[in-house]
Amino acid sequence: MKKNISRGFNLVEIAIVLVVFTLVITGVLRGQELINSAKARNLIDQKSSFQTAFIAFSNRYKLMAGDLTAAQASFVANNIVKASACGGDGVVNFDASNSLACSSAESVIVFQNLAATSLLSCANCMTVGVNGASPNVAATTGNTFINSYSQSLQFGLVAASNASTGGYWLDPNPTLMPAKNILSTGSKVTAAILQQVDQKADDGSPHSGLFRQSSTDSADTTANCTTVTGSGTSAVYAWVTTGNANCAGAWLF
């Protein structure tokens, strides 16, 4: 009678399994890397689209989008919405809670103005002020430009902050920096992807250059999205590349 002999894998079979396993893991990691790179590129492209549209509006009408008086809105036409309280003062107010702002959220109206003049592709931006809807509203996913995470972008004049609880845009010495117009990226973006954006389009640091860490649109705090060594003028910040904190960035204009 023949005896059944059980045997394990030989070295060749084990090697084949290891090679296949390595290829699968490499493919998954490479695929995730490509996805993250595409998301970072999308955020950069959105900034470029907005910047081009904003400058084109200024060149075409000699006016600032989001800051129109009733007379200026009538001149531009195209179902454009005027700033409800502070139109024509030369400032696009980021939101109504901003100390620099009046009562109108011109950060929403600016996108409507650009979309109404066909300078920016944003169908939901046209819901502001349509059929009697109040233009004096907060930015939401239903009335403004949104990122790939379906979070609203905002634009307007705001001051810097270095508080761990966050602020509109990060600077180690906010009291020395004048307020600037910023375009937020919207939130729910990991700091690792914001770092890619920073490296591709700026200097790679969340506290310097034209791309900074921000806590707009209910994003997480500066303390959870960045690390810091030193303080004051010697403070050096870095993006947190691990974890999944709900972060945001700000382009300075």
Residue 94 is part of which domain span? Answer: 49-157
Question: What letter represents residue 84's amino acid?
Answer: S
Q: Evaluate whether residue 3 is within a structural domain.
A: no
Task: Tell me which residues of the chain have a pLDDT lower than 50.
Answer: 98-101, 131-132
Number of folded domains that form the chain: 2
pLDDT tens for each residue of 80-114: 888 877 788 888 988 655 444 465 578 888 999 99
The whole-number pLDDT of residue 178 equals 93
Q: Evaluate whether residue 10 is within a structural domain.
A: no
The whole-number pLDDT of residue 114 equals 95
Count helices and strands in the chain by DSSP H and E runs? 5, 6
Q: Evaluate whether residue 12 is within a structural domain.
A: no
Among 136, 139, 169, smallest CA distance to 154 is for 139
Q: Evaluate whether residue 39 is within a structural domain.
A: no
Tell me whether strands 211-214 and 248-252 are parallel, antiparallel or unpaired.
antiparallel
Question: In sequence order, what E strands does 115-243 have?
Answer: 155-158, 180-184, 211-214, 226-229, 236-239
Question: What letter represents residue 138's amino acid?
Answer: A
- Single residue among 157, 181, 200 that ends a domain in this structure: 157
Based on the domain organization, do 121 and 214 belong to the same domain?
no
Based on the domain organization, do 143 and 169 belong to the same domain?
no
The whole-number pLDDT of residue 5 equals 55
pLDDT tens for each residue of 51-68: 999 999 999 999 999 999
The whole-number pLDDT of residue 132 equals 47
The whole-number pLDDT of residue 199 equals 96
- pTM for the whole thing? 0.82
The whole-number pLDDT of residue 140 equals 76
The whole-number pLDDT of residue 249 equals 97
**From CA 135, how far away is CA 82, in angstroms rounded?**
8
Based on the domain organization, do 139 and 217 belong to the same domain?
no
The DSSP H or E segment spanning 49 is helix 11-61
- Single residue among 157, 177, 210 that ends a domain in this structure: 157
Based on the domain organization, do 183 and 237 belong to the same domain?
yes
Half-sphere CA count of 95, side-chain side, radius 13 A:
15
Based on the domain organization, do 211 and 147 belong to the same domain?
no
Q: Evaluate whether residue 163 is within a structural domain.
A: yes
Q: Evaluate whether residue 27 is within a structural domain.
A: no
The whole-number pLDDT of residue 99 equals 46
Among 23, 21, 107, 117, smallest CA distance to 67 is for 107
Q: Evaluate whether residue 7 is within a structural domain.
A: no
